[in-house]
């Protein structure tokens, strides 16, 4: 497993596999509250799998680009974006494949999720067989999804939760 735990910086990772651990991969911006020092993380063809919590946990002020990521078999969320020290960032997922996340059956059991004021774009991605919601975005940020497919959520209540939002806007463009 891997960690980027610092204030800002620019990182590029390609073709790496992060398996196991609490989080298969943790990206945290340690900037002090109100500092707003952003960093950039780009991944290409990376895999985040078999973690005890989130497969890829992104926290704080980052600009994140995941190009063709694979996220699978995490105990909680697959690709997760959350506030750290009151700061959030932006993300783009291109051609992501996320499945079988959330096997711990907690409330954090999604393929991809963002919280707080994170804002993101998902393009040409496929999300399926999350323990509950495949896509679940919460907070005052926003999401634009283009050409994505989300199906076969395993919601315990029997409802198919493929795209779920709370408190803000999600725009679906040519999604199924």
The predicted pLDDT at position 124 comes to: 98
Cα 84–chain centre separation? 15
Question: Are the CB atoms for 117 and 66 separated by under 8 Å?
Answer: no
Q: Give residue 156's pLDDT band: very low, low, confident or very high (50, 70, 90).
A: low
pLDDT tens, position by position, 107-150: 678 999 998 889 999 999 999 999 888 998 888 888 999 999 99
- Going by the DSSP 8-state scheme, the letter that residue 61 receives in this structure is S
Per the listing, tokens 């105990």 go with 75
Q: Which of 169, 63, 168, 162 is nearest to 111 (CA)?
A: 162
pLDDT at 158 over 70: no
Mean pLDDT, the chain, integer: 90
pLDDT tens, position by position, 4-55: 988 888 999 999 999 999 999 999 988 877 777 889 999 999 999 999 999 9
Distance between CA atoms of residues 10 and 109, nearest Å:
29
Give me the count of residues in the chain.
Answer: 176
Per the listing, tokens 């290409």 go with 44
Distance between CA atoms of residues 14 and 27, nearest Å:
15
Distance between CA atoms of residues 89 and 83, nearest Å:
8
The DSSP string of 133-175 is -SEEEESS-EEEEES-EEE----TTS---SEEEESSEEEEES-
Give, for 143, the enclosing helix (H) or strand (E): strand 142-146
Q: Which of 165, 150, 149, 108 is nearest to 132 (CA)?
A: 108
């Amino acid at each position: 497993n891997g960690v980027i735990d610092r204030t800002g910086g620019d990182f590029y990772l390609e073709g790496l596999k992060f398996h196991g651990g609490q989080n298969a991969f943790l990206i945290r911006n340690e900037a002090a509250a109100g500092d707003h020092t952003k960093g950039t993380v780009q991944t290409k063809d990376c895999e985040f799998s078999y973690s005890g919590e989130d497969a890829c946990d992104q926290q704080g002020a980052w600009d994140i680009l995941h190009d063709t990521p694979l996220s699978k078999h995490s105990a909680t969320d697959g690709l997760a974006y959350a506030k750290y020290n009151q700061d959030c960032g932006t993300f783009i997922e291109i051609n992501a494949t996320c499945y079988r996340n959330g096997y711990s059956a907690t409330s954090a059991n999604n393929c991809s999720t963002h919280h707080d004021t994170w804002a993101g774009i998902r393009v040409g991605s496929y999300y399926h067989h999350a323990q509950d919601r495949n896509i679940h975005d919460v907070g005052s940020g926003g999401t634009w999804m283009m050409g994505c497919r989300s199906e076969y959520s395993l919601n315990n209540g029997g409802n198919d939760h493929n795209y779920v939002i709370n408190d803000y806007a999600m725009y679906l463009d040519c999604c199924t």
